[in-house]
């Protein structure tokens, strides 16, 4: 077989359609690779067949492509693990990235949870402090109100101050009464009276024309000003020690202090 025969006797066209014997095939292939003229002729023939095939193409049903792309051979062969190191590394990178993201998320979760717990704790502390302060304020405010009230009584020209001095029963004892006969108001400062057993209480009496009138019971250490019962008229005031809850008439032997208003 020579160049001329291969070109003119249709061997190249037969090579395209695959109609050569094994022996002819090897010879023609050799010529195509070694002989430029044969190579060019072969290329031109291939192009002509391709042009004819494209010009007289027929469109197949669209489902054919889907079946090809979904064929197990195509699907499994194009799996990332089977597609070489590049894609494999890509998966590894993705895995590494996801691990990093997961770790960061975990750290962030723990960090923010701690922050939140701390904040929550501090909020509870502050709320408690706030309640304490509010309570303190309420107490102070109440004390202030009381003191203002006491001061108002002390400075008021309507109130007369009566000193009750200790009797023989309690020589060191002393009590002070602030009395407004017009308003019938009686305040008592009992700070200097001794404390009593639990079953006893002090009782204040107003003496009107020699008759004792109950002006209220009180405990020894109950602050400076105690509001007593209303008294309109009194010649003198006295404090006795009585059973808890007070008595209908005074036990004179227990009289602790006694005083008369200045006329």
Partner 1 sequence: MATTTTDFNILLVKRLKNKDATALDYLYDHYSEALYGIIFRTLNHQEIAEETLHDVFIKIWDSIESYDPGKGTLFTWMYRIARNKAIDARRSKDFKTTDKSDDIDGFVDMFQDSGNKEDYIGLSAVLSEIGKMCKKLIQLNFFMGYSHAEISKNEEMPLGTVKTRLRNCLKDIKNKLRKDFE
Tokens of 77: 């062969």
Which CB, 22 or 61, lies closer to partner 1? Answer: 61
Count CA atoms within 13 Å of residue 149 on its CB side. 12
| Residue 97 interacts with partner 1 (CB under 8 A): yes or no | no
Count CA atoms within 13 Å of residue 56 on its CB side. 5
| Residue 43 interacts with partner 1 (CB under 8 A): yes or no | yes
| Residue 52 interacts with partner 1 (CB under 8 A): yes or no | yes
| Residue 27 interacts with partner 1 (CB under 8 A): yes or no | no
Which CB, 20 or 191, lies closer to partner 1? Answer: 20
Q: Rounded to the nearest whole angstrom, what is the least distance from the CB of residue 97 to partner 1 in the complex? A: 23
Q: State the number of binding residues for partner 1 (CB under 8 A).
A: 53
Among 21, 22, 60, 81, binds partner 1 (CB under 8 A): 60
Among 4, 37, 50, 124, binds partner 1 (CB under 8 A): 50
Q: Rounded to the nearest whole angstrom, what is the least distance from the CB of residue 90 to partner 1 in the complex? A: 13
Which stretch, 43-51, 106-114, 163-171, 246-254, contacts partner 1 (CB under 8 A)?
43-51
CA–CA distance, 66 with 165 (Å, rounded to integer)? 118
| Residue 91 interacts with partner 1 (CB under 8 A): yes or no | no
Contact positions with partner 1 (CB under 8 A) in 61-90: 61, 63-65, 67-69, 71, 73-75, 77-78, 82-84
Among 21, 22, 59, 155, binds partner 1 (CB under 8 A): 59
| Close Cβ partners of 33 (under 8 Å, ≥ 6 residues apart) | 39
CA–CA distance, 176 with 136 (Å, rounded to integer)? 30
Nearest to 240 by CA among 186, 183, 193, 179: 193
Residues that bind partner 1 (CB under 8 A): 7-19, 29, 32-33, 39-40, 42-61, 63-65, 67-69, 71, 73-75, 77-78, 82-84
């Amino acid at each position: 077989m020579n160049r001329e025969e291969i070109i003119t006797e249709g061997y190249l066209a037969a090579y395209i359609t695959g109609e050569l014997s094994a022996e002819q095939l090897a010879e023609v292939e050799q010529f195509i690779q070694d002989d430029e003229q044969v190579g060019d002729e072969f290329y031109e023939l291939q192009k002509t067949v391709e042009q004819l095939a494209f010009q007289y193409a027929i469109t197949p049903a669209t489902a054919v492509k889907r079946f090809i792309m979904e064929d197990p051979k195509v699907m499994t062969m194009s799996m990332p693990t089977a597609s070489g190191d590049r894609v494999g590394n890509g998966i590894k990178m993705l895995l590494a990235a996801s691990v990093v993201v997961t770790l960061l998320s975990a750290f962030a979760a723990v960090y923010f949870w701690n922050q939140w717990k701390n904040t929550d704790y501090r909020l509870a502390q502050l709320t408690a402090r706030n309640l304490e302060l509010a309570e303190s304020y309420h107490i102070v405010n109440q004390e202030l109100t009381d003191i203002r009230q006491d001061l108002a009584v002390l400075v008021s020209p309507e109130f007369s101050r009566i000193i009750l001095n200790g009797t023989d029963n309690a020589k060191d004892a002393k009590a002070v009464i602030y009395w407004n006969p017009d308003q019938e108001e009686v305040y008592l400062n009992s700070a200097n009276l001794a404390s009593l057993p639990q079953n006893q209480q002090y009782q204040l009496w107003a003496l009107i024309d020699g008759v004792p009138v109950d002006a209220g019971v009180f405990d020894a250490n109950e602050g400076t000003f105690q509001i007593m019962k209303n008294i309109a008229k009194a010649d003198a005031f006295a404090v006795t020690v009585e059973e808890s809850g007070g008595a209908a008439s005074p036990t004179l032997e227990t009289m602790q202090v006694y005083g008369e208003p200045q006329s």
